[in-house]
Amino acid sequence: MKEIKLDELFAEARKAADSAYAKYSKFRVGAALLADDGTVFTGCNVENRSYGLTICAERTAVVKAVSSGFRSFAALAISTPDSETPVGPCGACRQVLSEFMSPESPVIFGGSGSKKVKTTIGDLYPFDSLHNLGGD
């Protein structure tokens, strides 16, 4: 696999945010998920007037990738252009991401400002029972 370029992946996430359906919150989110073979899957948040039925950008990208036959991912980028400060993934997304990514997998997220956070799945979701207990 080619070298992971998180800034390029972040640019893909930023483009994906343009497709968000954020009619209620006015808070667009885009995600770009890099598969182990170099394929990039993007996703955006899709809201519903029943907030519980809203799907996050990160899970949209995972569902697109898994439904295309992919099961392992190398990196993730998240863009929240309607926030000046970086906003990380919600708890549900962290749980789903940890199912398909190793704790060492890099993650980058940022808002409309210049500050970006670079971290890992393991730092976002510490004490993950799947990985810490040796699950498959």
Could you list the active site residues?
Answer: 58
- Angle between helix axes 57-67 and 91-100 (nearest 10 degrees) is 30
Task: Give the type of residue at 21.
Answer: Y
Kindly tell me the burial class for residue 2, based on how many C-beta atoms sit within 10 Å of its own C-beta (0-12, 13-18, 19 or more): exposed
Q: Alpha carbon 29 to chain centroid distance? A: 9
Pair of tokens at residue 122: 């393991």
Q: Among candidates 82, 77, 21, which has minimal Cα distance to 54?
A: 21
- Angle between helix axes 6-17 and 57-67 (nearest 10 degrees) is 100
